[in-house]
Structure 1
Amino acid sequence: MHYYFMRKTDMTIRHLKIFIAVAETGSMSAAANRLYLTQPTVSQAIRDLEDHYHVQLFERFHKKLFITDEGRQLLNLALMTVGTFDSLERSMQHFQERTPLRIGSSLTVGTCLMSNVITDMEKAYPKIEIYSFVSNTTEIEQKLLRHELDVAVVEGIIESPELSVLPVVEDSLVLVCGKNHEFYGKNTIYASELEGRRFAIREKGSGTRKLFEQYLSAHNIHIQVAWEANCPRTIINAVIHNNALAVMSERLIKHECRQQSLKIFRYETGEWERCFKLVYRKKGTDTTQNLCRPTGSTPSSPSIENLRTVLERYRTLNLPDEIPSCIFKDD
């Protein structure tokens, strides 16, 4: 045997808005005109409310409507409810208008550049909602491939042909020593002098470490790894306070060089010059990713293009004039 139950009409925000319009205008026809509805539609909505709550909301007298005590109580609650709903609608529409952009950056880039870049992005493009993730180049690449990031800025080599790479910001690695190190009093350092020296280096997966290890291997130089860290500040402290040497981005140490707590040696061949690169998912492979010039690739979304525009402001490696120009040379 089947039993069927009559379901009461569900009350909606639409019912409440119609009721408010009738209460404010005192007329079904005036409410219909305000809401661009037919009068029978308005009348039906009021009947639905009265049936649903088992109350009379209006008294009819000489073709005029007068709100009842029950109607006034409902009106107060309806105004609050509709006001809350309208506020929710505005908030959610504002949220929908914002475009999420998940930006990854390698540790060097995240430390010396991305805070300023994101500040510029938020000022220039307030409708972009930015999430930032900072790690080494290897992990950033994997997150791009897993669609966990939309775009990244890294200094290391990108291996996957599924990612497009666009050089955008100039950078250079330099040899660094603290003022208590014997190298501090020199203006020229030769490659052979690095043999057996104590170094603070980045963790595996770092683009900076990879480039330096390639140099050491090519020149058959062996160093002592005294510090290994995934934090550039830790490496800087090891150089300043623990007499370690390091090879790191020139952009990271401008303040310390001004304070003369560090001394830098630029590699005379230019072999340590590199670029921070904009990386995003795209078919094909850029074979020119290590050159500091555009590849002709076009970012795949307006938000990524906006990021590229902001990064262009930081393209040139401008360092203070007071930083002395010391040289690192091959033998």
Structure 2
Amino acid sequence: MKYTFRQLEVFLAAARFQNITRAAEYLAMSQSAASSALKELENQFDIQLFDRVGKRLQLNELGRLYRPRAEALLAEATDLELALSRHSEVGALKVGATLTIGNYLAVGVMAQYMNTPTRPKVTLEVANTHTIAQRVRDFELDIGMIEGELQASELEMIPWRDDRLVAFCSPQHPLAKKGTLTDDDLRSATWIMREPGSGTRQSFERGMHGLLPDLKVLLELEHTEAIKRAVEANLGIGCLSEVVLADAFKRGSLVPLSIPHRPFDRHFYFILHKQKYRSAGIDRWIQLCREL
């Protein structure tokens, strides 16, 4: 074999940080050792994987072609190493989740996943759908959990569970006592919404097709709890996942609004890079989520 796993690690770290010094620090190597490893890899096959602009390393077309295969090979090797050294089928996992899933569902799954004799570590990153998809695409996350559909040829979308958006307001809001809302009610209301790029916003806009230009949007917020607080303060009405709102509805601090003629059903999905090795840990995570 002409290449080593260490050379592949340097190649991937350089692709991630676009700088050999930062790549060396990440791998706990000297800069000269990292530079030599990358140079040897390229020289052995008479190829160039990066365009070098000053101190910046930019993946070229060949580097982008081989990056997913190197990621998959190292992930499989790491999984085998963990299984051999820990006698365990599952290892550390890097998970990304959108806000609704990350704040209300993923923590319980993490507890079950880590509750094994080897205590495998789980790192959870919570962000909007666009960010999680990009992180999975760049191999910075092993698996993503998102609220909305997306078009990405590199990613595999695996259906997980159904969900539904629910419009809501404070008990003191004029619409709280009304039965079914009409489109005129929706146009006249003031809205507190999730930010563009989130799965919730995507689902909301799909359900409100034909009305969007007429809606009065007061605030666009990144956090569901901030939206709930703003609606409780009677600044407007909102629309979030029923998962997020269940406790508030039970307490009576928020009340649901009926809009049966607007389609707010949606799905949660797992996303994986199509060329990433699917480890035992990923399969275990998906299994636990389905049992939730």
Residue in 2 that maps onto 1:277? 269
In the superposition, relative to structure 1, how do residues 112 and 279 fare at CA in structure 2: closer, same or farther (>3 Å)?
same
In percent, how many aligned pairs have the same letter? 26
| Amino acid across the alignment from 2:172 | N
1:300 aligns with 2:292: no
Counterpart Cα distance in 2 of 1:126 and 1:225: 49
Task: Provide the secondary structure at the position in 2 that maps to 1:248.
Answer: strand
**Residues 220 and 226 of structure 1, relative CA distance in 2, 3 Å threshold:** closer
C-alpha distance in structure 1 between counterparts of 2:263 and 2:117, whole Å: 37
* CA gap 1:138/1:125 in 2 versus in 1, 3 angstroms: farther
> Which segments of 5 or more consecutive residues in structure 1 lack a partner in the other structure?
1-92, 284-298, 315-331
Equivalent residue for 2:162, pick from 153, 161, 170: 170
Q: CA deviation at 1:301?
A: 2.1
TM-score when normalising by structure 1: 0.58
| Counterpart secondary structure, 2:233 | helix
Per-residue deviation at 1:191? 2.3
Q: 1:269 to 1:304 in 2, by over 3 A?
A: farther
Q: TM-score, normalised by structure 2?
A: 0.65
Who is 2:287 aligned against? 309
Structure 1 distance, partners of 2:87, 2:195, is 39
Q: Establish whether residue 146 from structure 1 lines up as the match of residue 124 from structure 2.
A: no
Q: Which has the higher helix share?
A: 2
Amino acid at match of 1:234: A
What's 1:190 paired with? 182
Letter in 2 for 1:135: A
Q: Give structure 2 stretches of 5+ with no counterpart.
A: 1-84
Q: Which residue of 1 aligns with 2:58?
A: none
Matched residue, 1:116: 108
User: Structure 1 276/224 Cα, relative in aligned 2: closer, same or farther at 3 Å?
Assistant: same
Aligned length: 207
Assess if the C-alpha contact under 8 Å between 1:216 and 1:222 holds in 2: no
Code of the aligned partner of 2:145: V
Q: What pairs up with 1:226-237 in 2 under 5 angstroms? A: 226-237=218-229
Match of 2:148 in 1: 156
In structure 2, relative to structure 1, the CA distance for the partners of 1:311 and 1:107 (3 Å cut) is: same
Runs of 4+ in 1 over 3 A off after TM superposition: 93-98, 124-127
Letter in 1 for 2:165: L
| Cα 1:270–1:184 shift into 2, 3 Å | closer
Give, in angstroms, the shift of residue 221 of structure 1.
Answer: 5.6
Alpha-carbon RMSD across the aligned residues, in angstroms, is 2.3
Q: Which residue of 1 aligns with 2:234?
A: 242
The 1-side partners of 2:176 and 2:273 are apart by 44
Native 8 Å contact 1:195 1:221 kept in 2 = no
Q: CA deviation at 1:97?
A: 8.7
Alignment equivalent of 2:95, drawn from 96, 100, 103: 103
Q: In the superposition, relative to structure 1, how do residues 281 and 125 fare at CA in structure 2: closer, same or farther (>3 Å)?
A: farther
